[in-house]
Amino acid sequence: MIPASFDYHRPSDMDGVIALLKEHGDDARVLAGGHSLIPMMKLRMAEVPHLIDLQSIESLRGISINGSRVTIGAMVTQHDIINHSELTKVAPIMRETSLQIADPQVRYMGTVGGNVANGDPGNDMPGLMQCLDATLHLVGPDGTREVAARDYYEAAYVTAREEDEVLTAISFDAPSGGYSYEKQKRKIGDYATAAAAVTIQTSGGKVSSASIAMTNLSDVPVWSEAAADALVGTACDADAIKAAVNAMLDDIDPTEDNRGPVAFKRHVAGIILTRAITRAWDRA
Amino acid sequence: MKDLNEDQVARSANLKGMGCSRKRVEDARFTQGKGNYVDDVKLPGMLHGDFVRSPYAHARIKSIDTSKAMAVDGVIAVLTAADLAPLNLHWMPTLAGDKQMVLADGKVLFQGQEVAFVVAKDRFIAADAVELVEVDYEELPVIVNPFEALQSDVVLREDIADQKEGAHGPRKHHNHIFTWEAGEEAATNDVIDNAEVVATETMYYHRTHPCPLETCGSVASMDKVNGKLTVWGTFQAPHVVRTVASLLSGIEEHNIRVISPDIGGGFGNKVGVYPGYVCSIVASIVTGKPVKWIEDRMENLMSTAFARDYWMTGKIAATKDGKITGLHCHVTADHGAFDACADPTKFPAGFMNICTGSYDIPTAYLAVDGVYTNKAPGGVSYRCSFRVTEAVYFIERMIEVLAIELNMDAAELRRINFIKKDQFPYQSALGWEYDSGDYHTAWDKALKAVDYEGLRKEQAERVEAFKRGETRSLMGIGLSFFTEIVGAGPVKNCDILGMGMFDSCEIRIHPTGSAIARLGTISQGQGHATTFAQILASEIGLPADSITIEEGDTDTAPYGLGTYGSRSTPVAGAATALAGRKIRAKAQMIAAYLLEVHDDDLEWDIDRFVVKGAPERFKTMKEIAYAAYNQAIPGVEPGLEAVSYYDPPNMTYPFGAYVCVMDIDVDTGVQTIRRFYALDDCGTRINPMIIEGQVHGGLTEALAVALGQEIAYDDMGNVKTGTLMDFFLPTAWEVPNYETDHTVTPSPHHPIGAKGVGESPHVGGVPCFSNAVNDAFRAFGNRHTHMPHDHWRIWQTANKLGLHG
Ligand SMILES: Cc1cc2nc3c(=O)[nH]c(=O)nc-3n(C[C@H](O)[C@H](O)[C@H](O)COP(=O)(O)OP(=O)(O)OC[C@H]3O[C@@H](n4cnc5c(N)ncnc54)[C@H](O)[C@@H]3O)c2cc1C
């Protein structure tokens, strides 16, 4: 648990970050809260000769809410989200999810950017971002661009982000209606055995639209359009939920690990989604 | 005891002696970051060591090339077995009569095994250089299953392949270590063959690890001018380490000073001698500089003393009414690559023969087969006091299985088989003499406290509701009644490497009425500095706050066998009381002189000697202490000191009754502990608050083990749970509010009647949690499922029973 040696940089603006990324190429990586990257460096699974700390870049902090449009800076921590009352008012699912991430100590440091950008299938924010149809804002040597969260994740730790790009913020339209983030884990501080993000809008006592995404049940987050579609036009009765669960099960691809074998994970995924839908429907 | 008057009550309270919940004196420094652990030892010019470890569980080493590592600026040395061989230090004896490689000698036998030791100017350079040591391995077939090991042609221990005789008798196979037996085999088989009812079950007590907060480490400093070697380390038995170091190195014992500074949790993990200690010592001797070695968490989990790994098959015989008539137990014990248990010499399976538990079982037989596999060595650790945890788990599961067989309530089955109060001292069928106990009283108190009848009624209703489809949650009631055997031990039975398992205390009273006492034990969180001062306060009448307790420095402390197996209070605590009584005896002579009366005219009164019948004439201990140093008393040496070495006449037998109420979500396998009640009887209670703390800690560790904590290997011998991401350490969130309770049955042979409690909650807790899980599914035909009961295994149980529709 002793990292290899590295140079530490702490630029004060984005231009400085981009310049360093350009200069060092593959040898450089940005550091946010460090709660994924530093363990990897200590295990020598990640070798980062140039570490670029984002802590001094004020433009990456801050949560802004413009009508229903929410923009969250990459360096906003999970702790910040939990304590932001305005955000909780417009998009309570952000707080509900953050409270189920890790433990308070980790949440003081762990950032939205690090959680979303990294492409770790265990992270909870990517699935949530897909559920919310969020936009990821990237900046690189060639300027800024936007990528939909639903297009961002390609494989474990492989994303649409180029090596020299930095995530500056995420934004999304706060969903109306019911919501739920439901997660099963082995203990506080553990990644999900299975987790589900669900939003539901209703009209006339029926589901008018819905969105469903699952966490840690594939090498990428799984936004299951078919599962959501199965709910539309129903009153979330048992059959509708069953149909949604079956559709979701077609989309996930869990692997066996210490949390348990595939059959168990698939079963729990179904239970967790059932509970998430039920709760979201009750809140809609 | 006589009723005390107001003045006596005040004086007694002032002492903060036995029975008082005195706050822990250690905590001020621990909670303020002022502890002094091995890693806090920083010496001028100190070098740092780090290990190259084997990525393979079984492989031949074809070559080791250290040249690239040696070329790194700041690297001083890279030691391999070839460097240690001329000193005959490439292997070392284990505490179990086996031997163990210090650095891989020709082959590696488990993943994480020490292959080379890099010594460098700083910790970072050492870690960099480790990466540059090139080892050429040729992989060999891996065996992680002990049953397979006993069938396999693959020879794990080539060094002893031809030895038919091991340290504990004949070896049946080249991967077999020993067979150890207790009791009457033929008679037991006879009882079982002719019994009205027999229940049989095989249970695996999985391999786990105590995972102390502080990992293992040492700092060795060889002073070549004076010929003195000083070693600071995470040692639960510093004196034994000194003796072993002397035997291994040839340095005379008086020239070796071993110091255990503050230790951040031991639980048996820090009893053994590890290659890291040896390498830091050798490196210091070679370089003439202090050398520090501190392992990281993964190294600790992968390579240091594990716990359990016992496959236990039981047969329990009874009459139709539930009176147990016989017990048969066979264990296949997976010891890993080397037998590095820290059992007393004559007990290669520890005190597994306490497995008749709290029950009056007339006939019994136990056989244990120790086996080598490609896993890390170790075996005795984790609050397990010499396999008592395994034994209690075994019998408490067998009782439950028998209850199912008899279609009987498990609490009632226990009650009718308990050893009765008037049967003590009780001779067990497997050879122990239980000193004291009152099981029925404790059991009744526990069942009443939790409203056992009410719980069973609620459980039955829940089952019905489940069957009607109204709930997906089941309820388990876990019961456990345990008897421990602690306080090793009578020197005639118990030794470690020939060292009798006595313990010691040396007291010096200072002229102004304060004192220092030194012991052969060493606290790792048990609060010795607090409780031993309380014992002395009650014995010698000086306030506990005026008594310093010091342990762990072999240059100053009297020889002792250390702290593990809940032995400190039963053995060193007794030595402390007896040394205190020697002080008091001399004090009486001094007081008699000062008061100009005969010794026999005095009586002891809390903190003073009083002339019988003349309470206004007295000398306090404080006054006597002063006199001991400033008055010439005819026939009495100056000073006030005493030493006591205590060889206990018997072990002590703490016991307890635990009940756990658990709710289980059948669909997800998630368990929720609704209630946990723990009644402990550890005899005389020295500090109730510390006992409660020990119980909370031990129960939490028991919860961890029962519900998820394991060292799991894949078929290639890779450790699957080598970090805290997968190795389950519960947080405050997972832990219930424990309810603690007690009865007091003093040990009849212990000077203050105390029995030791540090391990009880673990020993009794594990079966209690496990029984709760198993009990939840009893109504659906479940007999036994193996631990750890994590979510997926509980789910699997439900699934196999057809509860998922
Ligand atoms: C014990 C523990 C338990 C945890 N449990 C959970 C959990 O249950 N659920 C969960 O979701 N998370 C969990 N986490 C992760 C944690 O919550 C953080 O969200 C996570 O570590 C990433 O955030 P960070 O700021 O620490 O990123 P860092 O570790 O600093 O960075 C992670 C990676 O993202 C890259 N990166 C960071 N910021 C940017 C950016 N702005 N642009 C581009 N790339 C960037 C870094 O280069 C690095 O490769 C856990 C962490 C720990 C240590």
Bond prior to A127 in cis (omega within 30° of 0): no
Does the CB of A102 have a partner CB in chain B at under 8 Å?
no
A122 inside 8 A of chain B by CB: no
The whole-number average pLDDT for the span B250-264 is: 97
Separation of alpha carbons B338 and B633, rounded Å: 59
Would you tell me which CATH number, out of the four given (3.30.565.10, 3.90.420.10, 3.90.1170.50, 3.40.190.80), belongs to the domain B38-140+215-263+271-303? 3.90.1170.50
For chain A, positions 175-194, list CB contacts with chain B under 8 A. 184, 186-191, 193
The proportion of chain B whose per-residue pLDDT surpasses 90, expressed as a percent, equals: 96
Q: From the CA of A176, how many Å to the nearest CA of chain B?
A: 30
The answer to whether B795 contacts A44, with C-beta atoms less than 8 Å apart, is no
pLDDT for residue A104: 95
Query: What is the SS3 assignment for B506-525?
Result: EEEECCCCCEEEEECCCCCC
* Whole-number pLDDT of residue B622: 98
| Average pLDDT of the segment spanning B245-262 | 95
Entry pTM: 0.97
Asked if B796 lies within 8 A of A184 by C-beta distance, the reply is no
pLDDT in tens, A40-59: 999 999 999 999 999 999 99
Query: Is B56 strand, coil or helix?
Result: coil
CB-based contact, B492 to chain A, within 8 Å: no
Angle between helix B760-776 and helix B688-707 axes, rounded to 10 deg: 40
Is-catalytic flag, B405? no
Q: What DSSP assignment string belongs to A48-100?
A: -SEEEE-TT-GGG--EEEETTEEEEETT-BHHHHHT-HHHHHH-HHHHHHHTT
Query: Which of A143-157, B333-347, B662-676 is least confident?
Result: B333-347
Q: How many helices (H) and strands (E) does chain B have?
A: 20, 34
CA B528 → CA A50, B226, B438, B485, B747, distances in Å?
49, 33, 28, 20, 20
Enumerate residues 6+ apart whose C-beta is below 8 A from A152: A119, A126, A129, A136, A159, A160, A161
Q: Which residues in chain B are closer than 8 Å to A275, comparing Cβ atoms?
A: none
Nearest to B342 by CA among B373, B305, B375, B309: B305
- Does residue B632 belong to the interface with chain A, where contact is any CB pair within 8 Å? no
CB contacts under 8 A, B 679-718 vs A, are 708, 712
Q: Of B240, B307, B233, which Cα lies nearest the Cα of B275?
A: B233
- What residues contact A242, with CB distance under 8 A and at least 6 apart? none
B420: left (phi over 0), alpha (psi -120 to 50) or beta: beta
| Residue B793 is a catalytic residue | no
Model pLDDT, residue B3:
86
Active-site residue B384, yes or no? Answer: yes
Residue of B628, B591, B627, B631 whose CA lies nearest to B611: B591
By the CB < 8 Å criterion, does A5 face chain B? yes
- B335, B370 in Cβ contact below 8 A? yes
Structurally, what CATH architecture does the domain formed by B389-487+652-800 represent? Answer: 2-Layer Sandwich (3.30)
Is the pLDDT score of B190 beyond 90? yes
> What's the CA gap between B89 and B115, in Å, rounded?
14
Q: What is the mean predicted confidence (pLDDT) over A70-81?
A: 98
Residue A38 CA to residue A44 CA, distance in Å, equals: 9
- Asked whether the beta carbons of B735 and B701 are under 8 A apart, the reply is no
Query: For this structure, is B701 an active site residue?
Result: no
- Asked if B123 lies within 8 A of A2 by C-beta distance, the reply is yes
Nearest CA to ligand 1 atom 25: A33
Cα(B287)–Cα(B293) distance, integer angstroms: 15
Q: Scanning every residue of chain B, which has its alpha carbon at the shortest distance from the alpha carbon of A272?
A: B668
For the CA of A60, the nearest atom of ligand 1: 41
CB B210 within 8 A of CB B381: yes
Q: Which strand (E) or helix (H) includes residue B694?
A: helix B688-707
In whole angstroms, what is the distance from residue B125 CA to residue B128 CA?
Answer: 5
Question: How far are the Cα atoms of A77, A195, B557 from residue A101, in angstroms, in the given order?
Answer: 11, 11, 49
Inter-chain touch A258–B796, beta carbons under 8 Å: no
Task: Please check whether residue B506 is in contact with residue B641, taking contact to mean a CB–CB distance below 8 angstroms.
Answer: yes
| Dihedral pair phi/psi, residue B719, rounded to 5° | -75, 125
The stretch B461-465 carries a mean pLDDT of 98
* CB contact at 8 A, B267 and B304: no
**CA A164 to centroid of ligand 1, rounded, Å:** 18
Tens digit of pLDDT for each residue in B5-46?
A: 999 999 999 999 999 999 999 999 999 999 999 999 999 999
To test the pocket of ligand 1, the residue of A24, A37, A42 to mutate (highest count of ligand atoms within 8 Å of its CB) is A37
Per-residue pLDDT, B342: 87
How many H-runs (helices) and E-runs (strands) does chain A carry? 12, 14
A150–chain B nearest CA distance, Å: 28
Nearest to A169 by CA among A191, A197, A189, A147: A147
* Average pLDDT across chain A, whole number: 97
DSSP for residue A27:
G
C-alpha dist (Å) from residue B273 to B218, B268, B562: 11, 11, 13
Q: What is the mean pLDDT of residues B597-617?
A: 97
- CA B124 to mean position of chain CA atoms: 34
Flag whether pLDDT at B1 surpasses 60. no
Rounded to the nearest angstrom, the distance between the alpha carbon of A55 and the centre of ligand 1 is 14
A194-203 β-sheet, strand order: A178-184, A194-203, A206-215, A222-223
Q: What is the pLDDT of residue B383?
A: 85
| Interface with A, mutate which of B792, B794, B799 (most A CBs under 10 A) | B792
B658: pLDDT strictly greater than 70: yes
Nearest CA in chain B to A190: B725
Query: Which residues, including other chains, have CB under 8 Å from residue B414's CB and lie 6 or more apart?
Result: B358, B359, B399, B443, B479, B481
Residue B2 in this model has a pLDDT that exceeds 70: no
Give residue B579's pLDDT.
98
pLDDT beyond 90 at A32: yes
Judged against a pLDDT cut of 90, whether residue B542 lies above it is answered with yes
Tell me the mean pLDDT in the region B709-720.
Answer: 98
Task: Name which of B665, B721, B791 to mutate to probe chain A: the one with the most chain A Cβ atoms within 10 A of its Cβ.
Answer: B791
Residues A241-268: pLDDT tens digits?
A: 999 999 999 999 999 999 999 999 999 9
Q: How confident is the model at residue B565 (pLDDT cuts 50, 70, 90)?
A: confident
Q: How far apart are CA A262 and CA B58, in angstroms?
A: 30
- Give the pLDDT of residue B783: 97
For the domain covering A58-173, report its CATH number. Answer: 3.30.465.10
A103 shares contact with chain B (CB less than 8 Å): yes
List CB contacts of A109: < 8 A, sequence separation 6 or more.
A33, A34, A35, A77
Q: What is the pLDDT of residues A82-139, one digit of tens each?
A: 999 999 999 999 999 999 999 999 999 999 999 999 999 999 999 999 999 999 999 9
| Per-residue confidence (pLDDT) for residue B343, from 0 to 100 | 87
Nearest CA to CA, how far is A120 from chain B (Å)?
15
Answer whether residue B107 shows pLDDT above 60.
Answer: yes
A279 at the B interface (CB within 8 A)? no
Tell me the CATH architecture of domain A7-53: 2-Layer Sandwich (3.30)
Domain boundaries, chain B: 6-35+503-646, 38-140+215-263+271-303, 389-487+652-800
The CA angle B270-B276-B277, to the nearest 5 degrees, is 65
Quickly state the pLDDT bin for B489 (edges 50, 70, 90).
confident
CA-closest candidate to residue B690, choices B496, B474, B527 = B527
- Is A184 within 8 Å of B791 when comparing Cβ atoms? yes
- Is the CB of residue B167 less than 8 Å away from at least one CB of chain A? no
Locate B522 and state its tokens: 């060493």
> Which of B127, B667, B670 is the closest to A2 by Cβ?
B127
Percent of chain B predicted with pLDDT > 70:
100
Find residue B506's DSSP bridge partners.
B518, B643
Please state which CATH number belongs to domain B6-35+503-646. Answer: 3.30.365.10
- Written as one letter, the residue type at B593 is Y
Return the CATH superfamily for domain A178-283. Answer: CO dehydrogenase flavoprotein, C-terminal domain (3.30.390.50)
Q: What is the mean pLDDT of chain B?
A: 96
Q: What is the pLDDT of residue A43?
A: 93
Find, in chain B, the residue whose alpha carbon is nearest to that of A264. Answer: B792
Q: Is B389-487+652-800 the same fold as B6-35+503-646?
A: yes
| CB < 8 Å to B726, chain A | 258
Amino acid at B188: T
Q: Take residue B184 and report the two structure tokens written for it.
A: 């009457």
Q: Within an 8 Å CB–CB cutoff, is residue A242 touching chain B?
A: no
CB contact under 8 A, B733 and A188: yes
CA gap B310, B222 in Å, rounded: 41
Residues in chain A with CB shorter than 8 Å from the CB of B720 are 258
Closest Cα in chain B, distance from residue A259 (Å) = 7
Q: Which residues of A touch B707 (CB under 8 A)?
A: none
Least confident span in B384-388, B471-475, B681-685, B764-768: B384-388
Q: How far apart are CA A219 and CA A222, in angstroms?
A: 9
Q: Is B128 on the interface with A (CB under 8 A)?
A: yes
- Preferred mutation among A5, A38, A186 to probe B, highest tally of B CBs within 10 A: A186
Cβ separation A2–B792 shorter than 8 A: no
Q: Report which protein residue has its CA nearest ligand 1's atom 38.
A: A114
Q: How far apart are CA A148 and CA A127, in angstroms?
A: 12
Active-site entry in B539, B567, B759, B778: B759
Query: Are B144 and B94 within 8 A, CB to CB?
Result: no
Mutate to test the pocket of ligand 1, among A43, A47, A109, A111 (most ligand atoms within 8 A of CB): A111
User: Could you tell me where the beta strands, DSSP code E, fall in B148-216?
Assistant: 165-166, 169-170, 176-183, 197-208
Residue B498 has phi, psi (to 5 degrees) of 90, -10
Q: Which of A2, A191, A264 sits opposite B792 (nearest CB)?
A: A264
What is the rounded distance in angstroms from the CA atom of residue B122 to the CA atom of residue B753?
51
What are the extents of the domains in chain A? 7-53, 58-173, 178-283
Please check whether residue B733 touches A, CB under 8 A.
Answer: yes
Residue with tokens 């450089």: A28
Tell me the pLDDT tens digit for each residue of A194-211. Answer: 999 999 999 999 999 999
Q: Which of A188, A262, A271 to mutate to test the interface with B (most CBs of B within 10 A)?
A: A271
pLDDT value of residue B385 = 66
B799: chain A residues, CB-CB within 8 Å: 263, 267
CA distance B370 to A204: 71
Ligand 1 neighbours, Cβ below 6 Å, are A 29-37, 74, 78, 101-102, 106, 109-111, 113-115, 117-118, 123-125, 166-167, 189, 191
